[in-house]
């Protein structure tokens, strides 16, 4: 069985790599955080000395990194993937980055005869752990078809949405809906609480109707239980919102609601909550209304 390179073992990459190992695939991994590397090594992976080293030993290289600059550095920089990868290799970047950067990296790799997919994911740490991520993919269909068996190990759905960059455009659309939905849930729960109605009963009453959503089901109970440990950090959603605004402005799409939620997140970051889950958006509304959303009785 061919070995898979996996670069980036953070909050998402670590469980994703472990799911590939559980499925019986052999991995060579790399990360700048020794503790993360050691954990995945104990799960059965080999360890590479650099992105170039990993790429030289694998025909399939997956990257899962924080943002556009890190992807460019790891793939195209000194000791990067491009320096080690053989012609015909496939690089699958599962990071959430700016679509234009995905296209730029893909074009540079193509000059060397290296194929690329951009394949960002949605679902946060819980779905990364249980292997039920939604995977949004840009690139050639033949390359997508080659990756399907590996996507199955990490995700519950995987859809080819267009050429390189389309995966990240789709992810940005996803992040707009998630951010604004969390803000709407927050606003509604704070209103219910301050108006003297148990927010849990409001949640139970509305979740089966048109207001129901995956976001409502995932975040409202955590808000009421005051659980803001990160499944997806506000700081990371701020990163995505920055890419959303840059892309929207670049193609001529005003994004007034996205801009408003971005500023809410910025206010929470200033308040020291950047590393909280994005469900902590409710705390912005709680501060304005001088109330706290929690189960009553």
* pLDDT tens for each residue of 70-91: 999 999 999 999 999 999 999 9
148 and 174 belong to one structural domain: no
Cα gap 102→167, rounded to integer Å: 9
Domain end (from 137, 163, 189):
163
Average pLDDT, the chain: 97
User: What is residue 117's three-state secondary structure?
Assistant: strand
211 and 156 belong to one structural domain: no
Q: Is 269 a catalytic residue?
A: no
Q: Name 27's Cβ contacts closer than 8 Å, sequence gap at least 6.
A: 3, 4, 5, 6, 17, 20, 21, 40, 44, 45, 46
Q: Which of 14, 127, 171, 219 is catalytic?
A: 171
Domain-located, residue 83 = yes
The predicted structure's pLDDT at residue 230 = 86
Domain-located, residue 297 = no
Read off the pLDDT of residues 224-268 as tens digits, 9 standing for 90 and up: 999 999 888 999 999 999 999 999 999 999 999 999 999 999 999
Domain of residue 224, CATH code: 1.10.1040.10
Read off the pLDDT of residues 107-149 as tens digits, 9 standing for 90 and up: 999 999 999 999 999 988 889 999 999 999 999 999 999 999 9
124 and 245 belong to one structural domain: no
Mean pLDDT along residues 195-209: 98
Read off the pLDDT of residues 15-31 as tens digits, 9 standing for 90 and up: 999 999 999 999 999 99
260 and 121 belong to one structural domain: no
């Amino acid at each position: 069985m061919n070995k898979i390179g996996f670069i980036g073992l953070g909050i998402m990459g670590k469980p994703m790599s472990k799911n590939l190992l559980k499925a019986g695939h052999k991995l060579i991994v790399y990360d700048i955080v020794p503790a993360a590397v050691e954990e995945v090594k104990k799960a059965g992976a080999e360890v590479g000395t650099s992105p170039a080293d990993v790429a030289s030993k694998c025909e399939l290289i997956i990257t899962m990194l924080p943002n556009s600059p890190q992807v460019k550095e790891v793939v195209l920089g000194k000791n990067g993937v491009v320096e080690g990868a053989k012609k015909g290799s496939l690089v699958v970047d599962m990071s959430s980055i700016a679509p234009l950067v995905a296209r730029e990296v893909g074009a540079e790799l193509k000059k060397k005869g290296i194929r690329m997919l951009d394949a960002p994911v949605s679902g946060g740490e819980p779905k990364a752990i249980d292997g039920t991520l939604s995977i949004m993919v840009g690139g050639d269909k033949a390359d997508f078809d080659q990756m399907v068996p590996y996507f199955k190990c990490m995700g519950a759905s995987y859809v080819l949405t267009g050429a390189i960059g389309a995966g990240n455009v789709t992810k940005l659309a996803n992040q707009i809906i998630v951010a604004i939905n969390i803000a709407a849930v927050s606003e509604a729960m704070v209103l219910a609480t301050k108006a003297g109605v148990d927010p849990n009963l409001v949640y139970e009453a509305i979740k089966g109707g048109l207001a129901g959503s995956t976001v409502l089901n995932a975040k409202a109970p955590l808000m009421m239980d005051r659980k803001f440990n990160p499944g997806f950090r506000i700081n990371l959603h701020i990163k995505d919102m920055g890419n959303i605004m840059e892309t929207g402005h670049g193609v001529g799409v005003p994004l007034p609601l996205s801009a408003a939620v971005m500023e809410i997140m910025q206010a929470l970051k200033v308040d020291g909550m950047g590393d909280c889950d994005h469900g902590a958006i409710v705390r912005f509304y709680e501060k304005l209304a001088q109330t706290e959303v929690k189960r009553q009785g």
